[in-house]
Structure 1
Amino acid sequence: MFKAVINSRLQYYVQGLLTAAFLLWQIPALAAIDITATRVWPAQDYTRLTIESKQAIRHTIFSVENPDRLVVDLEDVELGDTLKQLTGKLSRDDPYIKSVRVARFKPGIVRLVLDLKGQVKPQLFDLNPVGEYGYRLVLDVYPAVATDPMMALLDQAQPASPAAKTPGNVEPEAAPLAKPVPELRARTLIIAIDAGHGGEDPGARGARGSHEKDVTLAIARRLCALVNETPNMRGILIRDGDYFIPLGVRVVKARKARADLFVSIHADAFIKPDAHGSSVFALSEHGATSTAARWLAKKENEADLIGGINIAVKDPYLARTLLDLSQTATISDSLRLAKHVLGELNDINDLHSGHVEQAGFAVLKSPDIPSILVETAFISNPGEEAKLNDENYQTKLANAVLGGIKRYFAQNPALSRHNIAQLTRMTAP
């Protein structure tokens, strides 16, 4: 009898221990973070992987060589279908990532392994909820040696510099009495064309589901093609795909390309669907010219929050660009350019505002490039949304912007920035 009681109690305790162990094992599973979405945005500059969740994810990252791989460990994450589907979202022609593998590494840890096509410089950072997005873990994969495809394309269009003369027995020339102004060779005007938004940042949405980032890219590509068909002009696309570029980086890209003009293409939106018409904006250092302009600038400047930037990365060149306040002459030129473009748009669409508006748009803050932001139409208006998706109307919009650019240069002939610098050096005392 006594032995039976002991056995019964032992069995009871063993069952209790097993139950407790089972419950402890289930705690991580019960507390696992739910992954709500995964996205991949390939581009020539970098490839971005985004993991969206309902809670912030603790993580670690390290690299492995021979072959090159990136390993990202995610803590307390549910290994569900959404995360597993990340492996099938990678494009075969991704410039930096060969493949992605996802598996349970050990209890409480899900491991992502990125097989790479070469050496890279990764950036892994968190983004707090904003807009329609929850918590985001973002992995940006940059090449180890940075390349700029836009600059490579631009270099192809530039005439080669004359070959330097080799030293020899050359008689010295007599010193001139005064330095003559050099005759500059015909120059190519560089037009930087910026398709607004992109990647994680879709911009405004139309009632029929159109995304601003898509229509702006379509119009920008048409404008670039028309510019390239124009003698002595060269168009460059700041964004030529569905990926995100921070506002300040767009400015830097235009400056690196020595652009003569910067044109940012957008599609407006408002809470009332009957809002309609085209608008053109320039930068203001002294506040917005209207409440609508102030509201629009605030909305456009929030693109970095939606698109997602790594605030831990400090770029002194970028900081100088955005903080340079010597923009008075540039803003004056921007207003002249904007006025010509607005006049051309009036021939194909109603104007939302009959004059050029001004506000503190971050993307227009180049201290030395006349810059405008063109709100082509209201994507929130069903009628204008349909036109924005029409290829013929996109071409009309591109032709109108180009017409304004041509009128600006006809009335404001200017040397390209490269030749201005050349002239300054050659005429300096």
Structure 2
Amino acid sequence: MVRCHGADPQGLSRHRARGFGPAGGFPINKLFLFVFSLFFLSGAASAAALRVTGLQLGLNAGLTRLVVEADGPLNGSLSAAADGLGLVLTLSQARWDAAVPSSRAAGLVAGLGLPVDSAGQVSLGIDLVEPAVVERAFRLPPQGTVGDRLVIDLRPADPQAWQAAFAAPVSLPLAGSADILPPPPVSPGRLRLVVLDPGHGGQDPGAISAAGRYEKDVTLAIARAVATRLRQTHRYRVLMTREADRFIRLGDRVALARRHEADLFLSIHADSLAADRATRGASVYVRADDASDTDAEALALRENRADQLAEGAPARDVNEVVAILLDLASRDTGRLSSRFAGLLTASLGHRLTLRHNALRAANFKVLSAPDIPSALLELGYLSNPADEALLFSDAGRAELAEGVVAAIDRFFGVDDR
């Protein structure tokens, strides 16, 4: 820990040895006033700085929460670390007056660096497990023996969203989310429309488990559970792209959501690895021309091939897909999709097992609506016995539904701090 204390007392002897005493050209009374003024200014600066008295790291509803306590309301910023592997928290007009933070990990944070006092501000390195952005940052007033607090909530993000969010330092606290515009408001009396898209169906079974159970069945069952839970809140209308075991082309799923002017589109899938029964865990995807990794790219290719099962597909469908891809000029929609995907990843990670780097990106046709925030949820691996048991159980479906609804609520601002 490095502190700046103003004038160095040893500096006086060095000055005298070089002639800054009675034998030199600098009168002793002026030297006294000079040194006194340095200490006075240093003391004034220290008095003006807020004392940071505590720091806590933990989880809040799946989001990674950092709470900084001080003897007054703090301002600061978050910026990308020079090595691109973390963040730097800078607290302005502050000085560190607390114990050294614990190095334990929590959520998206792998560890905290040592606080550094310099030039009237405190800097603290934050090592990340995976890319993360600020979902929100707000102040809480003193309460009892607890002082003012700056609360910072981090959520997962794909690498592109991380780079965009920290292209410049993010000022704290925030009025809203750091890297996106909020969802547009709805007219009075109108409920937001959520479109749920159970993957596969009909002649397309999707992935098949070791026990011979089909992806198309589990996606429909979980979509129904989510729809029921959403309707119970009385905050949403719900539309499902299929209510039964029937095949629907990918372009038709997107077109349905656009025709009804959906506020959110969630496609629900599961995966399977024939030669691998160990890999398990849920993951969430957003659309990107370039996949985040080879696994994501391979998954998108498998899911996009579903349309090949349709016989006699009219040429206009191809034209519609091309038009949609060319129409992907809405940057706000992409940012909203990334935000929802991050909230969904955080919410599910609070409840069940996730894959490493669970938030990914690939070129999914079903996520191609240019005007609807969209994400694809991979529930887990039917080739893994634990995932299969979870997904085909009533308790597992209920837990998944709660996690999805919690993320949708937070995305649309139905949120308690």
Following TM superposition, the consecutive aligned residue runs of length 4 or more in structure 1 with deviations greater than 4 angstroms are 315-319
Does 1:277 pair with 2:276? no
Q: CA deviation at 1:210?
A: 0.8
Does 1:188 pair with 2:191? yes
Q: Which residue of 1 is the match for residue 314 of structure 2? A: 312
Q: Which residue of 1 is the match for residue 260 of structure 2? A: 257
**Counterpart pick for 1:370 among 369, 373, 377:** 373
- Which amino acid letter does the alignment assign opposite residue 375 of structure 1? E
Q: CA deviation at 1:229?
A: 1.3
Q: Quick one: distance in 2 between partners of 1:322 and 1:279?
A: 24
Q: Quick one: distance in 2 between partners of 1:330 and 1:373?
A: 15
Please list, as runs of the form range in 1=range in 2, the aligned pairs for 1:64-83 lying within 5 A after superposition: none
Instruction: Describe the SS at the equivalent of 2:208.
Output: coil
Q: 2:186 touches 2:192 (CA, 8 Å); kept in 1? A: no
CA distance change for structure 1 residues 344 and 309 in 2, over 3 Å: closer, same or farther? farther
Q: Quick one: distance in 2 between partners of 1:363 and 1:254?
A: 10
Indicate the structure with greater strand content. Answer: 2
Q: Quick one: distance in 1 between partners of 2:215 and 2:186?
A: 45
- Which amino acid letter does the alignment assign opposite residue 292 of structure 1? D
Q: Quick one: distance in 2 between partners of 1:300 and 1:391?
A: 26
CA distance change for structure 1 residues 310 and 324 in 2, over 3 Å: closer, same or farther? farther
Q: 2:200 touches 2:306 (CA, 8 Å); kept in 1? A: yes
Instruction: Describe the SS at the equivalent of 2:195.
Output: strand
Q: What CA RMSD, in Å, does the superposition of the two structures yield over aligned residues?
A: 2.0
Q: 2:282 touches 2:358 (CA, 8 Å); kept in 1? A: no
**Counterpart pick for 1:403 among 390, 394, 406:** 406
**Counterpart pick for 1:198 among 201, 222, 236:** 201
Q: CA deviation at 1:384?
A: 1.0
Instruction: Describe the SS at the equivalent of 1:401.
Output: helix
| TM-score normalised over the length of structure 2 | 0.52
Please list, as runs of the form range in 1=range in 2, the aligned pairs for 1:211-360 lying within 5 A after superposition: 211-271=214-274, 272-285=276-289, 287-305=290-308, 307-315=309-317, 319-360=322-363
Q: 2:297 touches 2:363 (CA, 8 Å); kept in 1? A: yes
Please list, as runs of the form range in 1=range in 2, the aligned pairs for 1:144-159 lying within 5 A after superposition: none
Please list, as runs of the form range in 1=range in 2, the aligned pairs for 1:26-37 lying within 5 A after superposition: none
Q: Which residue of 1 is the match for residue 160 of structure 2? A: none
Q: Quick one: distance in 2 between partners of 1:401 and 1:184?
A: 24
Q: 1:335 touches 1:356 (CA, 8 Å); kept in 2? A: no
Q: Quick one: distance in 2 between partners of 1:299 and 1:247?
A: 13
Q: CA deviation at 1:186?
A: 3.0
Q: Provide Cα deviations, 1:64-122, integer angstroms capped at 9, x if missing partner.
A: xxxxxxxxxxxxxxxxxxxxxxxxxxxxxxxxxxxxxxxxxxxxxxxxxxxxxxxxxxx
Q: CA deviation at 1:309?
A: 4.1
Q: 1:252 touches 1:321 (CA, 8 Å); kept in 2? A: no
Q: Provide Cα deviations, 1:219-272, integer angstroms capped at 9, x if missing partner.
A: 001111111112331111111111100101100001111100000011122231
Q: Which residue of 2 is the match for residue 210 of structure 1? A: 213
Q: Which residue of 2 is the match for residue 380 of structure 1? A: 383
Q: CA deviation at 1:304?
A: 1.0
- Which amino acid letter does the alignment assign opposite residue 248 of structure 1? G
Q: CA deviation at 1:183?
A: 10
